[in-house]
Amino acid sequence: MNLNLDAKKGMTYDAIVVGSGISGGWAAKELTQKGLKVLMLERGPDLKHVTDYPTAMKNPWEFPHRGKIELWAAEEYWANARSGGKPGEDQRHMFTKDVDVPYIEKRPYDWIRAYHLGGRSLVWGRQSYRLNERDFTANLEDGHGTDWPIRYKDLAPWYSYVEKFAGVSGNRDGLAVLPDGEFVPPMQMNSIELLAKAGIEKNFKNRHLVIGRPAIISVAQKVHTDLGRASCQFRNLCVRGCPYGAYFSTQSATLPAAVKTGNLTVITDKIAYQVIYDEQKNKATGVRVIDQNTKQTQEYHAKIIFLNASTMNTAWIMMQSTSKRFPNGLGNDSDQLGRNLMDHHLGAGASGEFEGLQDTYYFGRRGNGIYIPRFANWGDDKRKDFVRGFGYQGRGARQDWVAGATKDGFGPEFKDNLTKPGRWEFNIGGFGETLPDPTNRMRLSNKKDQWGLPIIEFDAAWGENTVGMRKAMMNDAAEMLEAAGLKNVKTRNDNTKNQGIGIHEMGAARMGRDPKTSVLNSWNQVWGAKNVFVTDGAAMVSSSCVNPSLTYMALTARAAAHAVGELKRMNL
């Protein structure tokens, strides 16, 4: 008996964090810095900062196929291949091989995953924007979904808190639609971008073009250098892993901060699949895991549990966490667990050419673009074809040697011309808001994976509201580029892209004001299991049209502070 007690004690912590991506890293940092002994569980293998970025410093000619996707890779990374170059030989080590962890598509769904320490914090787009005040009231205003249980003012101080630590580069633009934050110096727009900005803002009252706000350190501050992070080197090879720590990731920022406390234990290759719920105590006592390699099961115990396995996997864990109290999944009195899947729809926009500015160029390869904040259904811009709105991301650049693929010629003169920059081009693509819809959902199928765990089945698609929005995304883009002086403007509206392709999956365990309509309360606690917190994309109540990761960070920091306070007050 004493041996068993000792064994359980060795598996017991103050808090368990499931997942090591953006929100999981923040949970570990905040909880350890507040004095808790924390266990971080990651289902994938270890991946160390710098030393496990094998392609970060390679030149294009060092790849046998110049970074392209081989046929076998396109087959084995089939979902990743839908999003572009992710299975390429320069970056596929950062993504999950889909044949090893399949899923089922009742309706087509593009699920892009990164099962390793750090998760998708190593491969995210790094664009970091705050939701605005209306984003938190949109559901209440137009009747779609349920009301957020918090408002912008509740999250604003936490946005500031995480921005200072993460290192978000940006300009304070003074726009209500895109709230300002705590920024390191902005990156600079190039000549064509400045020209486009002037043309758009001159011709359209309520449209603005600003420099993007990425979690990339332009000028490192002491909070960053203390962790070994440095300023951006303008290589734009971020997806291979940043050995300089300039862009925010678990490995470069939150993990070293947590490790410095001496309070963190990290265990990889452990697939958490169930939260252990005590019927007598009305709270969770731990999690069950299965070893990815040995397939042996184990239990770990804690007073607080943070589920940060990413939207789908967090809901997947909760669905398997059944008990007499929760026969349909942990916190699922509302039957909303697994429902209301959202993403940002993309693939609609425009591009154009500019023949002037031949005497200007730019420095380096900026790993950032421009942003045009939402203007549709904002202020005086009222639309009849859709509710909510969209923003644009894009950039201007000069053609490089790749343009030679479509040009005639051969010999020394032809090669010499390829060393000279070509004409300026400008491209913008929309990111549109998706409405919460309970029929967009995921379920546990009857099929099992190689570990004997249920495979996820997706049943989700874009709604009718996206049809009119996508036309506007395309037409408005062309309208702005032409007003800015671009020529040969071409529009696009690619309807082959499925939900998931934006890699901004949200919903599945939404926050709310009532356990009858939601899974989490205003502090991201699971209804009926208040010592379990969910602060990744699963918690989102609506999607806005801005990249969501900064909101996950702020929600996590806020929830962690509340959790520790409640623990000290003996309420958990």
Token code pair at residue 153 = 């003012």
At residue 158, the pLDDT reads 98
pLDDT of residue 83: 86
Strand partners, 211: 370
Measured over the CA atoms of residue 259, residue 262, residue 267 and residue 272, the dihedral's sign is negative
pLDDT at 232: 97
Model confidence, pTM: 0.96
With 50 as the cut, is the pLDDT of residue 2 above it?
no
Residue 3 has pLDDT above 50, yes or no: no
- Sequence length of the chain is 572
Determine the pLDDT at residue 441.
Answer: 98
> How much is the pLDDT for 417?
77
Is it true that domain 12-62+93-103+114-169+238-341+506-571 has CATH number 3.40.50.720? no
Torsion angle in degrees (nearest 10) through CA of 164, 169, 171, 172: -20
Assigned token pair, 13 = 């912590």
Distances (CA, A) of 51 to 32, 42, 235, 258: 25, 19, 18, 19
Cα 23-27-30 angle, rounded to 5 deg: 135
Residue 283 in this model has a pLDDT that exceeds 70? yes
Any idea which of 84-93, 305-314, 499-508 has the lowest mean pLDDT?
84-93
Q: What is the pLDDT of residue 10?
A: 64
Q: pLDDT tens across 250-273, in order?
A: 999 999 999 999 999 999 999 999
Asked if the model's pLDDT at residue 4 lies above 60, the reply is: no
Assess whether pLDDT exceeds 70 at residue 8. Answer: no
Mean pLDDT of 130-137: 98
pLDDT digits (tens, 9 = 90+) for 201-250: 999 999 999 999 999 999 999 999 999 999 999 999 999 999 999 999 99
The per-residue pLDDT for range 396-422, each reduced to its tens digit, is 999 887 777 777 888 888 888 778 888
- As given in the structure block, the two tokens for residue 489 are 């403007």
152-166 vs 549-568: helix crossing angle, rounded to 10: 100
407 burial level (CB within 10 Å; 0-12, 13-18, 19+) = exposed
Contact 274, 297 (CB under 8 A): no
The three-state DSSP-derived secondary structure of 312-355 is HHHHHHHHHCCCCCCCCCCCCCCCCCCCCCECCECCEEEEEEEC
In this predicted model, what pLDDT tens digit does every residue of 164-203 receive, in sequence order?
Answer: 999 999 999 999 999 999 999 999 999 999 999 999 999 9
pLDDT in tens, 50-90: 999 999 999 989 999 888 899 999 999 999 999 888 899 99
